[in-house]
Amino acid sequence: MTTARVTPPRRGRPGYDLESLLAVVVKVFNEQGYEATSMEDLSRRLGITKSAIYHHVSGKDELLRLAVDRALDGLSEAARETAALEGRAIDRLEHLVRRSVHVLVERLPFVTLLLRVRGNTEAERRALARRREFDHLVGELVRQAEAEGDVRPDVDPAVASRLLFGLVNSLTEWYKPRGGLDADALAETVCKIAFDGLRRPSVPPGDPTT
Amino acid sequence: MTTARVTPPRRGRPGYDLESLLAVVVKVFNEQGYEATSMEDLSRRLGITKSAIYHHVSGKDELLRLAVDRALDGLSEAARETAALEGRAIDRLEHLVRRSVHVLVERLPFVTLLLRVRGNTEAERRALARRREFDHLVGELVRQAEAEGDVRPDVDPAVASRLLFGLVNSLTEWYKPRGGLDADALAETVCKIAFDGLRRPSVPPGDPTT
């Protein structure tokens, strides 16, 4: 059998607490897909028996629930924080985007898994329902910002909401935590592009500030 | 074994040509994942025998290659068209984004499959290599646009390239072809947000045009 990472294991088995177990499980789910992963696969990758896994959880469904809740709890916290803010909707929306980028960076494998959930099991449907609550909040903020005259008039708010989070969620496809770019810089770039666009703003003729 | 689409099939079996076969296959790959799909699964979903599938292709690997090439050929054509354009890089980049949205809308299941390819087989690695060529062109255009002073100075061009196509690719997650929004309107909204941002531009005080 395999050995533990730091402390000498009992009976040659690696010891897992729920967090370190989930870290491996979410990696396997992301690599193989949740549906295609069996408890047998998890047992092999963890280097512990299936009954040792059942010591922590009731089964694969609970593992998924715990994993996607890591992502969803982060996003809910960002949403709650945003809901408590005052001021214009466009600024609250920007706050939510910024905080969401932080959640993605800090909980990348969990959010990656969440975004791949398709809704075939109870745990998946529950995750999708929680995700929809979040999307609803985003949609509401975009609509409010539009009503307050802060969204450009030539975009459909519903499409804009989708694109905004498409942009944020795309991080799970390419962001490498050790790539050198920190969460603050990334959140700043995401917000610049999403809210102000990639194109350099045209300078009014004779503007002395540039 | 197989018959054409238009004429009544012999012996009660659905007839497929390569296109109609691929349409079903790409659907199954997207639902179940390429790796998790067996020739047996495909045979069942197509309602024809495995040897009838082998009449069209040499195997699963060729099916993947043909399917992702539908997406990649569309993107390559958009890239070639863009390379032939003259003018500022930011405008050529906008053209490429606009054309890419059209490719995604017109070939949605094929692009969806392409974006899920992970590189475990020869056909997958080949698809990833072709995708990288495209990403390289995008990166080049962003860098050129930056050199020409048309990209806002406070974003990293490499990150901007990723985000730009993260935004476009996110369409595969939510766009429904029968949802009422046509490709032109969608491409327009994507370009507005990507290049000019969601926020209504602030109007210089006393501007008489608004």
Residues of B in contact with A138 (CB under 8 A): none
CA distances from B128 to A30, A78, B191 (A): 18, 35, 25
How would residue B1 be classed by pLDDT, with cut points 50, 70 and 90? very low
Quick check: A155 contacting B, CB < 8 Å?
Answer: yes
CB B38 within 8 A of CB A36: no
Q: What DSSP designation does B200 have?
A: P
For B173, which of A150, A160, A166 is closest by C-beta distance?
Answer: A166
Contacts of A18 (CB under 8 A, 6+ apart): A56, A57, A66
Structure tokens, B183: 């490709």
CB B94 within 8 A of CB B150: no
Residue of B nearest to A89 (CA): B199
Instruction: State the average pLDDT over residues B184-195.
Output: 94
Instruction: State the average pLDDT over residues B7-23.
Output: 73
CB < 8 Å from A in window 50-89 of B = none
Do B10-57 and B67-196 come out as alike in CATH topology?
Answer: no
Buried b (16+ CB within 10 A) or exposed e, B164-173: bbbbbbbbbe
B10-57: CATH superfamily: Homeodomain-like (1.10.10.60)
Other beta carbons within 10 Å of B97: 23
Three-state DSSP state, B14: coil
Length of chain A: 210
Instruction: State the average pLDDT over residues A113-140.
Output: 91
CATH class given for the domain over A14-60: mainly alpha
- pLDDT value at A82 more than 90: yes
Quick check: B40 contacting A, CB < 8 Å?
Answer: no
ipTM for the whole predicted complex goes beyond 0.85? no
Kindly list the domain boundaries of chain B, sorted by start residue: 10-57, 67-196
Which one of B198, B199, B200, B209 would you mutate to disrupt binding with A, by most A Cβ within 10 Å of its Cβ?
B198
Residue of B nearest to A188 (CA): B155
Q: Name the residue with higher pLDDT: A99 or A1.
A: A99
Residues of B in contact with A162 (CB under 8 A): 170, 174
**HSE-up of residue A105 (Cα within 13 Å, Cβ side):** 18
Question: Which of B110-114, B145-149, B172-176 is predicted with the least confidence, judged by mean pLDDT?
Answer: B172-176
DSSP A67-109: HHHHHHHHHHHHHHHHHT--S-HHHHHHHHHHHHHHHHHHTHH
Residue of B nearest to A88 (CA): B199
- pLDDT value at B189 more than 90: yes
Of B154, B46, B11, nearest to A195 by C-alpha is B154
For A67-196, CATH number? 1.10.357.10
CA gap A152, B198 in Å, rounded: 6
Residue of A nearest to B166 (CA): A170
Question: What is the structure's pLDDT at A14?
Answer: 62
- pLDDT value at B11 more than 80: no
- The whole-angstrom distance between residue B129's C-alpha and the CA centroid of its chain comes to 15
Which one of A198, A199, A200, A202 would you mutate to disrupt binding with B, by most B Cβ within 10 Å of its Cβ?
A198
Quick check: A165 contacting B, CB < 8 Å?
Answer: yes
